[in-house]
Amino acid sequence: MQYFNLHTHQFTNQSDVLELVNQYPQEFDGAIPFYSIGIHPLYINENRLENDFQVVDEKLALPECLALGECGLDKRGETPFEVQQSVFEKQLALAEKHQKPVVIHCVTAFQELIETKKRLKISVPMLVHGFSKKEELAKQLIDAGFYVSFGKNLLRNPELESVFKSIPNDRFLLETDMIEEGIQDVYALAAKYKGMELSELREIVNGNYKTVFESKTNL
């Protein structure tokens, strides 16, 4: 594996990229080789929650499902926060049951996220995707045991350079989410910011991948 894309909504089928494609239970595509699946806080439909939980539970049991997510908390969403919290906690229980990492969507609810992880004593790795905040918050997340993933905002916002540099090398991953640029572009900028060769960055990300996913996938 030359590149690992932690979170993308587009399967590009590149031979040198392992893509963790985000899937939703109501529109699952079995043709995608590796994926995460979860109930997004912005797309909670209480009328089908029972079925959605069942699908997530079933898919998490499969080896091609590498993670739960994206799921989490979003205070800008229309779904009541207490409903989001309940759905999130039920999904975390499934992640613990199947011992799969969790890809987190979090908007203006980071303290609640940290509190939830601590209160529920979550043992599986939790990865905050699409990080775009300040160094202080990044440190809080790292100290609480989270991994932090960078992508779109790293490319778009030069102010994130100092934040990314502050992340320990064993606690970050990279992604594209929904941007047009490839994961190769994200790696190139990340290597530049870290002041290292691309080959060294690849080794670091591959090591983090192995630590988080303990995958039997051929690298």
Element (H, E) at 165: helix 160-166
Q: Is residue 145 part of a domain?
A: yes
For the segment 33-61, the average pLDDT, to the nearest whole number, is 97
The pLDDT of residue 15 = 95
Q: Is residue 168 part of a domain?
A: yes
The predicted-structure confidence for 171-187, as pLDDT tens digits, reads as follows 999 999 999 999 999 99
The pLDDT of residue 218 = 43
Predicted structure pTM score: 0.96
Two tokens, residue 116 = 């939830």
Q: Are 173 and 207 in contact (CB under 8 A)?
A: no
Cα separation, 73 vs 134, whole angstroms: 19
Q: Is residue 219 part of a domain?
A: no
The reply to whether 74 sits in an annotated binding site is no
Q: Are 5 and 176 in contact (CB under 8 A)?
A: yes
The pLDDT of residue 214 = 80
User: 176 is in which domain, residue-wise?
Assistant: 3-213
The reply to whether 105 sits in an annotated binding site is yes
The pLDDT of residue 172 = 98
Q: Is residue 16 part of a domain?
A: yes
* Structural domain count, the chain: 1
Q: Is residue 218 part of a domain?
A: no
The predicted-structure confidence for 63-114, as pLDDT tens digits, reads as follows 999 999 999 999 999 999 999 999 999 999 999 999 999 999 999 999 999 9
The reply to whether 9 sits in an annotated binding site is no
Q: Is the pLDDT of residue 217 over 60?
A: no
Q: Are 68 and 93 in contact (CB under 8 A)?
A: no
Cα separation, 138 vs 195, whole angstroms: 20
- The overall average pLDDT reported for the chain is 96
The pLDDT of residue 1 = 86
Q: Is residue 196 part of a domain?
A: yes
pLDDT-derived band at 8 (thresholds 50, 70, 90) equals: very high
Report CA dihedral (217, 6, 179, 143) to the nearest 10 degrees: -170
The pLDDT of residue 153 = 97
- Which CATH number do you get for residue 68? 3.20.20.140
